[in-house]
């Protein structure tokens, strides 16, 4: 079988036992390093967080958020962060999926990527606004020129965030728009 490490038999008290793949300990180390980096990079307090951190999270208003991002790794990271912040998150990975979500549910906030398969973010934003949608939209874009920033706002987005971004910056923008509702 491809993709699986070969296992060699080991003798143990008269029985044949399959040996663990050699790289299990390496994978465990990588997993531990990944988790440590994830917590450090995204400043996610652990279970031993101070009472203040727990209080701040518990006083935030839980919001229903639509996250539209075609990069599945980024989508998962942002979704995990928002869930950690105690928000209800629905995800879409294409423009068509986003439109389906917007037709079927009401959201407190929309996080919308610019470049999406099918229909691009600005087109979704225009269509949503043309149909009377008033939900705040934060557009995610890898572009940094003033014309692209202006295009985000002209399409109907309330704000934009340039990729790559810090999750704390996203949280600040979320708080800004959710506190006004």
Domains of the chain in sequence order? 16-59 (no CATH), 61-178 (3.40.50.2300)
Q: What is the pLDDT of residue 61?
A: 61
Please list the residues that pair with 110 across neighbouring strands. Answer: 66, 137
Query: In terms of DSSP H, where are the helices of 61-180?
Result: 72-84, 95-104, 121-130, 146-154, 167-178
Nearest-angstrom CA–CA distance, 81 and 52: 19
Q: What is the pLDDT of residue 17?
A: 44
Nearest-angstrom CA–CA distance, 167 and 173: 10
125: its two tokens:
């934003």
Nearest-angstrom CA–CA distance, 106 and 64: 8
Q: What is the pLDDT of residue 143?
A: 81
10: its two tokens:
């080991």
Scanning the structure block, which residue is given the tokens 């068509």? 96
Number of other CB atoms surrounding residue 89 within 10 Å: 19
Burial of 29 (0-12, 13-18, 19+ CB in 10 A): exposed
Question: For 38, phi and psi rounded to 5 degrees?
Answer: -60, -50
Residues 6+ apart with CB under 8 A from 144: 162
* C-alpha radius of gyration, the chain, whole number: 22
Nearest-angstrom CA–CA distance, 56 and 52: 6
Q: What is the pLDDT of residue 139?
A: 95
Is residue 180 within a helix (H) or strand (E), and if so which, with residue range?
none
Reduced to 3 DSSP states, what percent helix, strand and coil does the chain have, rounded to the nearest 5? 45, 20, 40
Beta pairing, strands 159-162 & 9-12: unpaired
Predicted confidence pLDDT, tens digits, the chain (181 residues): 454 444 444 544 444 444 444 444 444 444 444 454 455 444 444 445 544 444 444 445 689 999 999 999 999 999 999 999 999 999 999 999 999 999 999 999 999 999 999 899 999 999 999 999 999 999 999 887 788 888 889 999 999 999 999 999 999 999 999 987 6
Q: What is the pLDDT of residue 16?
A: 45
């Amino acid at each position: 079988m491809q993709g699986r490490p070969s296992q060699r038999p080991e003798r143990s008290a008269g029985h044949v036992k399959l040996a663990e793949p050699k790289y299990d300990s390496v994978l465990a180390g990588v997993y531990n390093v990944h988790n440590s980096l994830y917590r450090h990079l995204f400043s996610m307090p652990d279970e031993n967080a101070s009472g203040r951190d727990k209080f701040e999270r518990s006083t935030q208003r839980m919001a229903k958020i639509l996250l539209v991002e075609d990069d599945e790794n980024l989508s998962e990271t942002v979704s995990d962060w928002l869930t950690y912040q105690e928000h209800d998150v629905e995800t879409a990975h294409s423009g068509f999926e986003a439109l389906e979500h917007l037709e079927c549910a009401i959201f407190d906030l929309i996080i919308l990527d610019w470049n999406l398969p099918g229909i691009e973010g600005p087109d979704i934003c225009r269509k949503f606004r043309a149909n009377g949608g008033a939900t705040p939209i934060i557009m995610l874009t890898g572009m940094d020129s003033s014309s692209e920033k202006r295009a985000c706002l002209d399409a109907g987005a309330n704000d934009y965030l340039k990729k790559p971004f810090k999750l704390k910056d996203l949280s600040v923008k979320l708080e800004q728009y959710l506190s006004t509702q």
